[in-house]
Homo-oligomer: A and B are copies of this chain.
Amino acid sequence: MKVSRFPLSTVKETPADAEIISHQLMMRAGMIRKIAAGLYSWQPLGLRVLRKAEAIVREEMNGAGALELLMPAVQPAELWQESGRWEQYGPELLRFTDRHNREFCIGPTHEEIITDLVRREVRSYKQLPLNYYQIQTKFRDEIRPRFGIMRAREFLMKDAYSFHIDKPSLDETYQQMYDTYTRIFTRLGLDFRAVRADSGSIGGALSHEFHVLADSGEDAIVFSSASGYAANLELAEALPPAGERPAPGKAMQTVDTPGVHSIEDVCKALDVNPEQTIKTLLVEGADGGVVALCLRGDHTLNEIKAEKLEQVAQPLTLASDEQIRAAAGCGAGSLGPVGVDIPVIADRAAAHLADFVCGANVDGQHLTGVNWGRDCPEPQVADIRNVVEGDPSPDGQGVAKIARGIEVGHVFQLGDKYSRAMKATVLDENGKEIIIQMGCYGIGVSRVIAAAIEQNHDEQGIRWPSALAPFQVALLGMNRKKSQRVREACDALYEEMLAAGLDVIFDDREVRPGVMFADMELIGIPHRVVIGEKNLDKGLVEYKSRRGGDNQDIARDGIIDFLTSQLAQGRSD
């Protein structure tokens, strides 16, 4: 493709509302343009990248035997009322009425539609398992769309839904989709991890998220230094400390700590480490009272875990200042487990401490040398903290590491959540009606593009993995305007590249070399070939990889072979 026929619309300015690097680079590279909050147009350069991701997803889904269909984006309310989601879903579900005043929504997901289709088409266990997918533009009315296409309101999604007579069949397809996703993200050239995840509001049991690792990721992932274990921080178990709790060694003492509220202040005032302290949080209890949650001073509360405690009210709600004072007689900064008349739940690490420091339940006072079972009752013990780097890995193998990730895929076992509500059944071999088991499997195709950039960029711009690059090779000529030889050499090499089937963009503009170099680096073309007069005399062209390394002089007549082998290498990377 020639730039004269495929105009670049790179810009120098970074838009003010672009907070993250992928958003900035996609705007600067001219891949997308903003139409309204959370609504973007994919310009030709961006769409080329999106279509490459889409093609890989489609190929692998077809290869896994999934059947592509295309359901309507607009969905009737009746089906959502059947599943109960019409009421449950928040305002991010775009609802509207048509000209006849019938209610519809633009679906962010299609469980209801596909379940309705399957219950109408499928009668017998012999017709199962089935796995349907579509690649479709979805809409979710985000309250605060931002980060460009990373959290847009309109986005391209691959959503798949599988149907089974029983759990073993669901397990099999689930594993197959897990493997397919692994192949997809591997082929896309991304550094990713599949992590155990809380299934959140969609419901069901087993669930994995696929995260592209990037410092800017919104989600924290715990993984093992020694095994393949990976889990969302929200779910990762903090193992109990090894060994017995040390015996008490000190007497409990009350110390004055005026103006000291935070753990940091306590450590400074009393010259202790956070690991020797306990912080106490009061939250609303399931019975209407309050509950004390105790954590080691250097740990943080895992709200998902805490919310699952039966003594605790759902959703997890911190006690108000009034509630705290009524229950403990002090402010939030002076709480502790000693002498309170409310349930106390200690995290495993906190419960393992001896001679610890905590608030005295008196404003301006702390206690030192405190010991469970001696100075206060033994607490109920639970895992309610977030894993931290250096903890033993939750699977017991190696040490926990923490990385940040961008969720780009998700596989769920839905079980019978939708099929039960919508009465999707089949007859089994004995003619008995059984409820279908379901799985669902999503990939944020447009989000993959942003995630790939978050993971692959430098100061000059995007550094596409081979599979996603809008073009594989950039062909540039130095001083084209003045040099007829350069122009002719470029034209000839361009034709050879096309004939060799190379995916090449040829910058045939008459602009300064610096402009061409900057543009091709910004838009991230993996391989650059430059033709200049000096090199031509020697029968050479200049090659540079966007991945780094120095300029290389390559024989003009060998450049096609050189590129072909570079590309083959890129694909197998």
Q: Does A513 contact B (CB under 8 A)?
A: no
A75 to B75, CA, bound (A): 19
For A101-118 the 0/1 string (1 means CB < 8 A from B) is 010101000000100110
Q: How many copies of the polypeptide does the oligomer hold? A: 2
User: Which one, A136-144, A203-211, A401-409, is touching chain B?
Assistant: A136-144
* Complex contacts, A120 vs chain B, CB 8 Å: 33
Contact check, A137 vs B92: say whether CB atoms are below 8 A apart: no
Contact check, B72 vs A41: say whether CB atoms are below 8 A apart: yes
Contact check, B35 vs A99: say whether CB atoms are below 8 A apart: no
Contact check, A41 vs B69: say whether CB atoms are below 8 A apart: yes
Contact check, A130 vs B73: say whether CB atoms are below 8 A apart: no
* Complex contacts, A139 vs chain B, CB 8 Å: 73-74
**Contacts A94-B98, A99-B91 given; does A73 touch B5 at CB 8 Å:** no
* Complex contacts, A36 vs chain B, CB 8 Å: 72, 75-76, 102, 104
* Complex contacts, A75 vs chain B, CB 8 Å: 35-36, 39
User: Which one, A42-50, A415-423, A473-481, is touching chain B?
Assistant: A42-50
Nearest residue (CB) in B for A67 is B44
A154 to B70, CA, bound (A): 11
**Contacts A9-B121, A41-B72 given; does A35 touch B116 at CB 8 Å:** yes
Among B5, B121, B130, the residue within 8 A (CB) of A65 is B5
**Contacts A44-B69, A69-B41 given; does A92 touch B99 at CB 8 Å:** yes
Nearest residue (CB) in B for A30 is B121
Q: Does A96 contact B (CB under 8 A)?
A: yes
A50 to B68, CA, bound (A): 12
A179 to B143, CA, bound (A): 46
Q: Does A515 contact B (CB under 8 A)?
A: no
Query: A41-B70, A42-B70 known; 14 other A-B pairs, CB under 8 Å?
Result: A9-B121, A33-B117, A35-B72, A35-B116, A40-B72, A41-B117, A42-B71, A44-B68, A50-B70, A72-B154, A73-B73, A73-B154, A74-B106, A98-B141
Q: Which residues of A contact B (CB under 8 A)?
A: 5-7, 9, 33, 35-36, 39-44, 47, 50, 65, 67-76, 91-92, 94, 96, 98-99, 102, 104, 106, 113, 116-117, 120-121, 127, 130, 132, 136-137, 139, 141, 143, 153-154
Can you list 13 contacts pairing A with B, beta carbon distance less than 8 Å? A5-B65, A33-B117, A35-B71, A35-B75, A35-B76, A35-B116, A39-B75, A41-B72, A43-B69, A43-B117, A44-B132, A74-B153, A137-B137
